[in-house]
Structure 1
Amino acid sequence: MTASLAIIASTERSSPGETGGARSATPAPGAENPEISHADEAGPLIKEIMRRYRPKGGSIDALGVCLDLIEGRGEAEVVTSLRRLAPAWRDHAIACVYAILMPGDRRKRLGAYFTPPHLVDHLISRLTDLGLDLTQDRLRDPAAGGAAFLVPLARRKVKSWRDAGVADDEILTRLPAQLFGREIDPDLATLANALVRRMLTDEFHIQAAGVAALEIVATGDSLDQEFAGDHAVDHEIGNPPYLRLPRALLTERQAEFEDIASGRLNLYAMFLRRAVDQVPTGGLVGYVIPASFLGGPEFTTFRSRIDELAEVLVVDIIEKRSDVFLDATQDACFVVLRRRGEAPNDGERATVSSGVLRADGSFRPVGSAVVEPGGEPWRLPGEDQEGTATLLTWGYRGAIGYLVANRQGERLHAKPGPGRYPLVWAKAIAPDGVFDFDRGRKHRGKGWVDAPATAPYIVRTECVAVQRTSSRGQKRRIAAALIPAGFLQAHGGVVAENHVILLVPREGEAWDGQALAKALNDPAASEQLDRMCGSASISVRLLEKLRLARPLLRLTSEASPAPNASSGDLSAAIEHPDGP
Structure 2
Amino acid sequence: MQVGAAYVEALSPATRARHGRHYTPPELAYHLWSMARMSLGFSPGRQVLPGLVRDPACGAGALLLPALREHLRASYGVDPALTLAGLQNLIEGVDTDPAAVWVANVVLAAEMLPTLARIPESRRRSLPALARVGDGLSIPEQPARVVVMNPPYGRVRLAPDERERYAHVLYGHANLYGLFMAGAVESLDSEGVLAALVPTSFTSGRYFSKLREYLGREAAMSAITFVEDRSGVFSSVLQETCLATFERRKRRKARINSLGSTMTTIATVKVQKTGDPWVLPRRSDDAPVTAAASAMQESLASLGWRASTGPLVWNRRSDDLHAAWGPSRSHVIWAADLDGGILHRDPARDSMRYLALTRPSDSKVMVLDEPAVLVQRTTAPEQSRRLIAAHLSRDALSARHGRVTVENHVNVLRPTGLDPVLTPEAMTRLLATKTMDQVIRSISGSVALSAYELESIPLPNRDVVRSWNDLEGDALEAAVSAAYRPEGSK
Q: 1:365 aligns with which of 250, 265, 284?
A: 265
Q: 1:183 aligns with which of 95, 99, 116?
A: 95
Tell me how far apart the structure 2 counterparts of residues 543 and 117 of structure 1 sit (CA, whole Å): 36
Tell me how far apart the structure 2 counterparts of residues 400 and 208 of structure 1 sit (CA, whole Å): 69
- CA drift of 1:212 comes to 5.5
1:332 match: 241
Instruction: Report Cα offsets for 1:244-265 as digits up to 9, x if no partner.
Output: 222xx25332101111112212
Asked if structure 1 preserves the Cα contact closer than 8 Å seen for 2:386 and 2:447, the reply is no
Tell me how far apart the structure 2 counterparts of residues 389 and 223 of structure 1 sit (CA, whole Å): 37
Q: 1:135 aligns with which of 23, 45, 48?
A: 48
Percent sequence identity is 27
Tell me how far apart the structure 2 counterparts of residues 167 and 394 of structure 1 sit (CA, whole Å): 67
Tell me how far apart the structure 2 counterparts of residues 473 and 406 of structure 1 sit (CA, whole Å): 26
Tell me how far apart the structure 1 counterparts of residues 397 and 3 of structure 2 sit (CA, whole Å): 57
Instruction: Flag the 1:293–1:320 CA change in 2: closer, same or farther, 3 A.
Output: same
- CA drift of 1:420 comes to 1.8
Tell me how far apart the structure 1 counterparts of residues 73 and 452 of structure 2 sit (CA, whole Å): 50
- CA drift of 1:287 comes to 0.9
Residue 96 of structure 1: SS of its match in structure 2?
A: helix
Tell me how far apart the structure 1 counterparts of residues 3 and 451 of structure 2 sit (CA, whole Å): 42
Asked if structure 1 preserves the Cα contact closer than 8 Å seen for 2:80 and 2:115, the reply is no
Residue 374 of structure 2: SS of its match in structure 1?
A: strand
Gaps of 5+ in 1: 1-90, 555-580
Tell me how far apart the structure 1 counterparts of residues 233 and 455 of structure 2 sit (CA, whole Å): 32
2:161 is aligned with 1:252: yes
Q: 2:414 aligns with which of 492, 504, 516?
A: 504
Asked if structure 1 preserves the Cα contact closer than 8 Å seen for 2:397 and 2:404, the reply is yes
- CA drift of 1:534 comes to 4.4
- CA drift of 1:103 comes to 3.1
Asked if structure 1 preserves the Cα contact closer than 8 Å seen for 2:39 and 2:247, the reply is no
Q: CA RMSD in A?
A: 2.9
Tell me how far apart the structure 1 counterparts of residues 80 and 298 of structure 2 sit (CA, whole Å): 66
Asked if structure 2 preserves the Cα contact closer than 8 Å seen for 1:468 and 1:501, the reply is yes
- Structure having the higher strand fraction is 2
Asked if structure 2 preserves the Cα contact closer than 8 Å seen for 1:182 and 1:220, the reply is yes
2:105 is aligned with 1:193: yes
Spell out the pairing of 1:391-430 with structure 2 (5 A cutoff).
391=300, 396-430=305-339
Instruction: Flag the 1:438–1:193 CA change in 2: closer, same or farther, 3 A.
Output: same
Asked if structure 2 preserves the Cα contact closer than 8 Å seen for 1:464 and 1:502, the reply is yes
Tell me how far apart the structure 1 counterparts of residues 202 and 445 of structure 2 sit (CA, whole Å): 7
Spell out the pairing of 1:136-535 with structure 2 (5 A cutoff).
136-137=49-50, 138-162=52-76, 165-201=77-113, 213-224=127-138, 228-246=139-157, 249-340=158-249, 350-358=252-260, 360=261, 362-381=262-281, 382-384=287-289, 390-391=299-300, 396-430=305-339, 432-439=340-347, 441=349, 445-451=351-357, 454-470=363-379, 474-490=383-399, 491-506=401-416, 508-510=418-420, 511-535=422-446
Q: Which amino acid aligns with 1:552?
A: N
Residue 324 of structure 1: SS of its match in structure 2?
A: coil
Asked if structure 2 preserves the Cα contact closer than 8 Å seen for 1:466 and 1:479, the reply is yes
Q: Which amino acid aligns with 2:428?
A: A
Asked if structure 2 preserves the Cα contact closer than 8 Å seen for 1:370 and 1:379, the reply is no
Tell me how far apart the structure 2 counterparts of residues 429 and 211 of structure 1 sit (CA, whole Å): 69
Q: Which amino acid aligns with 2:407?
A: E
Residue 135 of structure 2: SS of its match in structure 1?
A: coil
TM-score, with structure 2 as normaliser: 0.82
Residue 106 of structure 1: SS of its match in structure 2?
A: helix
Asked if structure 2 preserves the Cα contact closer than 8 Å seen for 1:472 and 1:536, the reply is yes
Asked if structure 2 preserves the Cα contact closer than 8 Å seen for 1:460 and 1:489, the reply is no
1:55 match: none
Asked if structure 2 preserves the Cα contact closer than 8 Å seen for 1:426 and 1:440, the reply is no
Instruction: Flag the 1:250–1:410 CA change in 2: closer, same or farther, 3 A.
Output: farther
Number of aligned residues: 444
Asked if structure 1 preserves the Cα contact closer than 8 Å seen for 2:313 and 2:408, the reply is yes
